[in-house]
Amino acid sequence: MIIVLKPRISRKEEQAVLKEIRKLGYVPHVMRGVARTVVGAIGDELTHANLETLLALFPRTVESVTPIQKRYKLVSREAHPANSTIRVGPHVIGGKQFHVMAGPCSVESERQLLATAEAVRAAGATFLRGGAFKPRTSPYEFQGLGEKGLKLLDKARRATGLPVENHADLVAEYADIIQIGARNAQNFQLLIAAARTGKPVLLKRGLSMKIEEWLLAGEYVLAHENPNLLFCERGIRTFETYTRNTLDLSTIPIIKRESHCPVVIDPSQGAGRADLVTAMCKGAVAMGADALLIEVHPNPAEALSDSAQQVSFEVFAKLMDELKPFIRAAGRE
């Protein structure tokens, strides 16, 4: 860590700081600069104490403390320079093949789910998605079909052959990819439980999660011995009110730079508006995303949740068609 001392402190005050640094297990290295003295504390920051305590201990002497090491290891590209690929049934995510995961926001009925599964498969989707337990802002809104929804997803999986992407719930048996939703992205007990199922984990970015925090949440999964992690950007909360969230597509090159894990983009949540989904999908493909997560509903206007952001079968089929030249331009299949 780098400790910057305040100007005009005495040698005695400096010694007190150095002594504490040694006590906390680091070797101090003093540099006298033009305006102030800087101390490099040599030691493994992941196993030693965080020196930010010095700020509180020496409020009149220490100006700032800056960590040097990245706090994440296993998710970092340093640890694993090549792209990770994740095999799910017949598919490989993170390689040359581009994937589309599509389906309704909520599973509402057998008829709705099977019709959607057939329609998205016909249009080229490779995974089925669909929520069974829906966390809703208000207690008075539809909360999902629960376990019945999971069983319907299983049925749709068997009927269409599409692997299923679904929220991490009590039972992982019905999901081929376990989704950790944005509101749970720092629910670390849930992350550990999901990791332990051994299934691929799709980790959505929390609404106000910094990239470093997102990578560290992913680190919880890899640290619990599950190497199959996907990062999914779904929009962050900003001051803008035109869209529900601001989809941060710059996460694609950033996650690719910092980590080896595949990147998925969810433009449905990201915009919260069906009319912006197609343009966002094109951007995501061009910027190097590995997969898309798209909400599709037979009749969006009658959807029991998030109706404004789901696209109809017709819009979805057209979108898949319009994406093709961009997928080719991106060197994907």
Range in contact with its own copies (rule: CB under 8 A) among 115-123, 139-147, 158-166, 172-180: 139-147
Report the nearest approach of its own copies to the CB of residue 139 (Å). Answer: 5
Q: Which of residues 277-306 bind its own copies (CB under 8 A)?
A: 279-280, 282-288, 300-303
Told to check if 271 binds its own copies by CB under 8 A, we report yes
Report the nearest approach of its own copies to the CB of residue 116 (Å). Answer: 15
Report the nearest approach of its own copies to the CB of residue 215 (Å). Answer: 10
Report the nearest approach of its own copies to the CB of residue 101 (Å). Answer: 20
Residues 120 and 302: beta-carbon distance below 8 Å: no
Task: Among 208, 225, 314, 321, indicate the residue that binds its own copies (CB under 8 A).
Answer: 208
Q: Which string of b and e fits 154-189 if b means at least 16 CB within 10 Å? A: eebbeebebbbbbbbbeebebbbbbbbbbebbbbee
Told to check if 135 binds its own copies by CB under 8 A, we report yes
Task: Among 19, 87, 96, 183, indicate the residue that binds its own copies (CB under 8 A).
Answer: 183
Range in contact with its own copies (rule: CB under 8 A) among 48-56, 93-101, 118-126, 152-160: 48-56
Q: Which of residues 71-130 bind its own copies (CB under 8 A)?
A: 71-72, 78
Q: Which of residues 8-47 bind its own copies (CB under 8 A)?
A: 20, 29, 31-36, 38, 40, 42-47
Write 22-26 long-range contacts (CB < 8 A, 24+).
Answer: 24/48, 24/49, 24/51, 24/53, 25/49, 26/1, 26/51
